[in-house]
Amino acid sequence: MTRREKQALIDKGHLLPLMEEFYTIQGEGFHKGTAAYFVRIGGCDVGCHWCDVKESWLPELHPATETSKIVENAVKYSDIIVVTGGEPLTWDMGPLTEQLKAKGVQTHIETSGAYKLTGQWDWICLSPKKMKLPTDEIYEKAHELKCIVYNKDDFKFAEEQAAKVNKDCILYLQPEWSKRDKMMPQIVDYVMANPKWKVSLQTHKYLNIP
């Protein structure tokens, strides 16, 4: 297969740069504590300086893998498949989710929303970033909004994002891991003063699991 042919298949979502895949416990947000199979797709140009998986940014570092093989492996482990990244919406998620839904599993995505929403999703976790804001369409479809709090200015950004999502979207504030000791007391106070928000923790890191 030539490089051009391979890129054409990637562009159509039939091949995806697969960084890693693993069966674990969902650590964040609404589904925390739930067993799920994670598929981490490489490729992201949003550029969060505090990103804890910067090795996911360059798609060429990760093998272009047949979508059908990803599906075949994932459904062996769980009926909840979480697609994350990187930024998975960099790529067309249609073929992946179509095949997953054909297997009767639930499809979840964790995304910044910076690119066009593709795919069929049972749960959309929108985690917007200041550097590259979400597309308008995803605000109406997001099931949960997860805003990362790195400093005090992030509370203002979180409110701006909350004003754009649909009325049923669950709102979460989550401390950036390296700032958790400093920001957690502020988040607790903020949620108590603004109870439309909930606290999200990266419980998988406390549990020392993937």
Task: Please state the residue numbers annotated as binding site for substrate.
Answer: 25-27, 40, 84, 210
Enumerate the known binding-site residues for [4Fe-4S] cluster: 44, 48, 51
3-state DSSP call for residue 189? helix
The tokens for 111 are: 């995304």
Phi-psi domain of 159 (left: phi exceeds 0; alpha: psi -120 through 50; beta: other): alpha
Enumerate the known binding-site residues: 25-27, 40, 44, 48, 50-52, 84, 86, 127-129, 210
| Cis amide prior to 13 (ω within 30 degrees) | no
Amino acid letter, 24: T
DSSP string, 119-144: S--SEEEE--BTTBPPPHHHHHH-SE
Q: How far apart, in whole angstroms, are the C-alpha atoms of residue 60 and residue 140? A: 32
What count of residues does the chain have? 210
Q: How far apart, in whole angstroms, are the C-alpha atoms of residue 188 and residue 10? A: 43
Enumerate the known binding-site residues for S-adenosyl-L-methionine: 50-52, 86, 127-129
Q: How far apart, in whole angstroms, are the C-alpha atoms of residue 39 and residue 50? A: 21
Which helix (H) or strand (E) segment holds residue 4: the answer is helix 3-11
